[in-house]
Amino acid sequence: MRGKKALYRWDAEDYRSFSSQQKKWGLELMDKLHLRGDEHVLDLGCGDGLLSAMLAKRVPRGSVLGVDISPEMIDHARRSYPSSHYPNLAWEVADACQLDFCECFDVVFSNAVLHWIRDQSAALEGIARALKPGGFLLAQMAGRGNAAEVACMLVSLMASEKWSAYFRDMDFPYLFHGPEDYIPLLEKAGLEPLRVELLTKDMVHEGREGMAGWIRTTWLPFTQRVPERLREDFIAELVNGYLHDFPPDEAGLVHVNAVRLEVEARKPL
């Protein structure tokens, strides 16, 4: 393990079951790489490893290294996509803020990760070091205004008498950047921004269960403050409040207004 230990305990199997939207957006993002097939790719924050495995299939003459700060995620990825079936795919537990690769990757790919990272400069400098000259960064993360209605509901729940004791002194844990603040961060790290834009997306969940699954598997900085025995109750209150204001459509699907920041950048030659 390089760097700090993970702050949150991920349930990799549960995340895999409730991350169809992250996977859909990740695959759409991957299509924008236009891979030749011989690239060496770093999948930063690879999670359960599905996207790394898809990348590995797209670079049969190259390689993919999936890294993640969560040992649970890497363990799951390694078991799901073994080297016997994916000879060009490897895994490593590593903190994105402590990458120590030097000019070994043609591409750094990262989906739904960078908004988790407080020290953006450390992560972007590590990415810049890891890329070969001329190498390419393609990342998508939650952006400014993401899931604002859910965040708003969460803030009022956290302030309520029943739950406030668990949220004293809590800052909003994610960084939802826009292009104006992200472009200077890329430049400071020595990366040339090519495209940095906010995209609005309709995040779709399969009813109440899908919405609760998304909250349970990814809003860990909030849910893990609540004792385990009360967690389901907390999530149910949040989901009920959201569904009261934003009921499912005729097909039973729940919609969340998502905003993603998409970043293309190059390491100069």
Ligand X SMILES: C[S@@+](CC[C@H](N)C(=O)[O-])C[C@H]1O[C@@H](n2cnc3c(N)ncnc32)[C@H](O)[C@@H]1O
Length of the chain: 269
CA 251 from chain center: how many Å? 28
Distance in Å, CB of 7 to ligand X, minimum: 8
Distance in Å, CB of 144 to ligand X, minimum: 18
Distance in Å, CB of 69 to ligand X, minimum: 4
Whole-angstrom Cα distance, residue 33 to residue 41?
11
Out of 21, 63, 111, 223, the only residue in the binding site for ligand X (CB under 6 A) is: 111
Q: Which range in 105-113, 131-139, 196-204, 247-255 contacts ligand X by CB under 6 A?
A: 105-113
At which residue do the structure tokens 């993360």 appear? Answer: 141
Q: Does 112 bind ligand X (CB under 6 A)?
A: yes
Question: How many residues belong to the site for ligand X (CB under 6 A)?
Answer: 23
Residue (130 or 163) nearer to ligand X, CB: 130
Scan residues 12-71 and list those touching ligand X (CB under 6 A): 19, 22-23, 26, 45-47, 51, 68-70
Q: Dmax of the chain from CA atoms?
A: 58
Out of 55, 97, 108, 263, the only residue in the binding site for ligand X (CB under 6 A) is: 97
Distance in Å, CB of 92 to ligand X, minimum: 10
Inter-axis angle of helices 120-130 and 179-188, to 10 degrees?
Answer: 50
Whole-angstrom Cα distance, residue 74 to residue 46?
8
Residue (91 or 234) nearer to ligand X, CB: 91
Q: Mask 190-219, x = binds ligand X (CB under 6 A)?
A: ----------------------------x-
Residue (104 or 248) nearer to ligand X, CB: 104
Contact 108, 226 (CB under 8 A): no
Q: Does 96 bind ligand X (CB under 6 A)?
A: yes
Beta bridge partners of 68: 93
At which residue do the structure tokens 């905003």 appear? Answer: 259
Residue (175 or 265) nearer to ligand X, CB: 175
Tell me which residue of 183, 166, 244 sits closest to 211, measured CA to CA: 244
Out of 95, 125, 262, 264, the only residue in the binding site for ligand X (CB under 6 A) is: 95
Phi, psi of 205 (to 5 degrees): -120, 145
Give, for 184, the enclosing helix (H) or strand (E): helix 179-188
Give, for 77, the enclosing helix (H) or strand (E): helix 71-80
Distance in Å, CB of 222 to ligand X, minimum: 14
Q: Which residue's Cβ has the minimum distance to ligand X?
A: 47
- Quote the tokens at residue 249: 């459509």
Residue (111 or 223) nearer to ligand X, CB: 111
Q: Does 146 bind ligand X (CB under 6 A)?
A: no
Whole-angstrom Cα distance, residue 237 to residue 3?
36
Out of 33, 42, 56, 117, the only residue in the binding site for ligand X (CB under 6 A) is: 117
Whole-angstrom Cα distance, residue 179 to residue 260?
11
3-state secondary structure of 268: coil
> Residues in the site for ligand X, rule: CB under 6 A?
6, 10, 19, 22-23, 26, 45-47, 51, 68-70, 73, 95-97, 111-113, 116-117, 218
